[in-house]
């Protein structure tokens, strides 16, 4: 990937704090959701996914929350580290399609 996110919403957090990145999705038929991390010059990297039959899923230092009622997804990163600085995208997928629909992204900046 190129240097993404020149005009993206930015979240700035102190190293060690928790980060919460939000995403609103558009398709009520979407039943699979993924969070990707994209560093400058690289392709999107898988972080965590969740299916619509769940409302919470935890990974290593990350938690994804899904609220289907309001079509909202969030990514929580615990004890944020400088290496977490990147652009984060949520992506949705509907049962009838194989394609991922990506959100517009959020840039996370971690202050030392």
Partner 1 sequence: GAGVSQTPSNKVTEKGKYVELRCDPISGHTALYWYRQSLGQGPEFLIYFQGTGAADDSGLPNDRFFAVRPEGSVSTLKIQRTERGDSAVYLCASSPTSGRGTQYFGPGTRLTVL
Binding site for partner 1 (CB under 8 A): 1-8, 32, 34, 36, 41-46, 49, 89, 91, 93, 97-105
Nearest residue to 10 (alpha-carbon basis) of 86, 77, 103:
86
Report residue 76: phi and psi, to 5°: -110, 130
* Shortest Å, Cβ 92 to partner 1: 11
Report residue 82: phi and psi, to 5°: -55, -35
Of the two residues 6 and 112, which places its CB atom closer to partner 1 in the complex? 6
Of the two residues 7 and 112, which places its CB atom closer to partner 1 in the complex? 7
* Shortest Å, Cβ 112 to partner 1: 26
Of the two residues 16 and 46, which places its CB atom closer to partner 1 in the complex? 46
Query: How many Cβ atoms are within 10 Å of 43's Cβ, its own excluded?
Result: 8
* Shortest Å, Cβ 105 to partner 1: 6
Structure tokens at 4: 């993404």
* Shortest Å, Cβ 16 to partner 1: 29
Of the two residues 25 and 84, which places its CB atom closer to partner 1 in the complex? 25
CB-side neighbour CA atoms (13 Å) of 14: 2
Report residue 28: phi and psi, to 5°: -65, -15
């Amino acid at each position: 990937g190129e240097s993404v996110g020149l005009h993206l919403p930015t979240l700035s957090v102190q190293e060690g704090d928790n980060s919460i990145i939000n995403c609103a999705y558009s398709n009520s038929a979407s039943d699979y959701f993924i969070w990707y991390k994209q560093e400058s010059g690289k392709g999107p990297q898988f972080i965590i996914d969740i299916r619509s039959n769940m409302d919470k899923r935890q990974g290593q230092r990350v938690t994804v929350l899904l609220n289907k009622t309001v079509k909202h997804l969030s990514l929580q990163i615990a004890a944020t580290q400088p290496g977490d600085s990147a652009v984060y995208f949520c992506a949705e997928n509907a049962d009838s399609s194989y394609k991922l629909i990506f959100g517009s992204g959020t840039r996370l900046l971690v202050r030392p």
